[in-house]
Amino acid sequence: MGVITKKIKGTEDVLPKQSYRWQFIENIMREEAANFGFKEMRTPVFEHTELFARGVGATTDVVQKEMYTFDTKGGESVTLRPEGTAGAARAVLEHALTNEGLPIKAYYLTSCYRYEKPQAGRLREFHQFGIEEYGTSSPLADAEVISLADSIFKRLQIKNLHLEINSIGCPECRPKYNRALKEYFSQFKDKLCGNCLNRLEKNPMRLIDCKVPSCSEIAKNAPSILDYLCEECDSHFEQVKTYLTTAGIDYKVNPTIVRGLDYYTKTVFEFVSDAIGSQGTVCGGGRYDGLVEELGGQHLPSLGYAMGLERLLMVMENQGIEIPRPEPCALYIAGLGDNAQVKAFELIGAVRSCGLSAETDVVGRGLRAQMKYADKIGARFSMVIGDNELDENKAKVKNMTTGEQTEIELDSSFAEKFSDIQLAAKFSEGVE
């Protein structure tokens, strides 16, 4: 039997030398979410298939074509989550989180799965940071979640992002708009793709979002949802724009934004970058006031968004944004002989207890090989312990950059004294 050495198509490995980049943006996301009062939520990687069929929408491409669905040994149909909102809404209902006070403010960092054609910025397993807020219909909440996304992008120093917003109405005004769309697109039935012919009857708004060039050209002259908004939706949208202006957030109204999932109502928005080609949307979301009710709960106005981590990293790389590397190993101790290795192990434990990174040999290398390894991992300092050092209870700590050596006692004060040495070196090098 051959060795399995290839990852599944549409997936990517995050290797140890790359993971710091992910951790950096994830930490910023957690910090900013906490600043806005959001707490983390974690939901299962798979759910009952019906949850996504009802929540995401049976007519969407996600449900019809892209979900990873399978039957369990118990005969249940389950699906790997294609997005995070439906599972979060299910958790809110199941655990009666409304009893803990409104609004409910949660975020997630999670993996999602869609069977799509892999391409740059679009994988079959991808990762999202998502914001969920339940229990408020205020346009201020719409502006607040957009502000949270904007603050994350500013922290990451991402430039040339464009916020585009729209309102897609509510169950009161949308039927009138759908009738207008049917009337318009019916004139071009012979030019529409097969998917759009199906959408024309089941979900006309999906035609606005079709990426087939011939359909996109037809959609350019389609009626605008903004001309069909009811008084409440129109007022809500105007207030969202006022709050965004107050927050100093630039935006563009784009009537063609409808988002790809059926649960959206009223406000929808996207942050778009021109740095990664056609897959330019790095954050998308909006309001989904009817979702919880669709899943069997009481009416609970809700909103949120998701950011694609892979796409954010692509944008940052294309813009040349440097992600700080983690601190390298502070001290590498080479032990020569069994007794010296025991002492080395004791000392690196003491250094680690001070919150510093320290390593010693664990594979049985000779001295020369150990020093090469210390250089390879970028150790700031190194130290060699042999019989002489053990007898004298002293050794020399070497600055790997300057070559300067400092003698230090191998006693209970070792970690504290080494910490002083490395702090002094940082100060002299101007390292914060």
Domain boundaries, the chain: 19-171+229-318, 174-204+215-225, 331-424
Each residue's pLDDT tens digit, 343-385:
999 999 999 999 999 999 999 999 999 999 999 999 999 999 9
Residues 147, 152: Cα–Cα separation, whole Å: 9
Over range 3-10, report the average pLDDT: 87
**The whole model's pTM is what?**
0.91
Over range 149-165, report the average pLDDT: 96
Residues 107, 366: Cα–Cα separation, whole Å: 49
Token match 């959609």: residue? 219
Number of other residues whose CB lies within 10 A of the CB of residue 17:
8
Question: Given this structure, which CATH class describes domain 19-171+229-318?
Answer: alpha beta
Strand partners, 306: 130, 284
> Does residue 62 carry a pLDDT above 90?
no
Mean pLDDT, the chain, rounded, equals 93
Each residue's pLDDT tens digit, 73-118:
999 999 999 999 999 999 999 999 999 999 999 999 999 999 988 8
Closest CA to 272 of 165, 362, 143: 165
pLDDT recorded at residue 57: 77
Place 1 in a pLDDT band, splitting at 50, 70 and 90: low
pLDDT recorded at residue 202: 83
| 331-424 is classed CATH 3.40.50.800 | yes
pLDDT recorded at residue 428: 74
Share of residues in the chain with pLDDT > 70 (%)? 97
pLDDT recorded at residue 56: 82
Place 254 in a pLDDT band, splitting at 50, 70 and 90: very high
Number of other residues whose CB lies within 10 A of the CB of residue 226:
16
Q: Give whole-number Cα distances, 389 to 37, 339, 364, 383, 386, in Å.
A: 54, 11, 20, 10, 5
Place 396 in a pLDDT band, splitting at 50, 70 and 90: very high
Place 278 in a pLDDT band, splitting at 50, 70 and 90: low
Q: Where are the alpha helices (DSSP H) in 45-169?
A: 49-55, 61, 85-94, 139-155
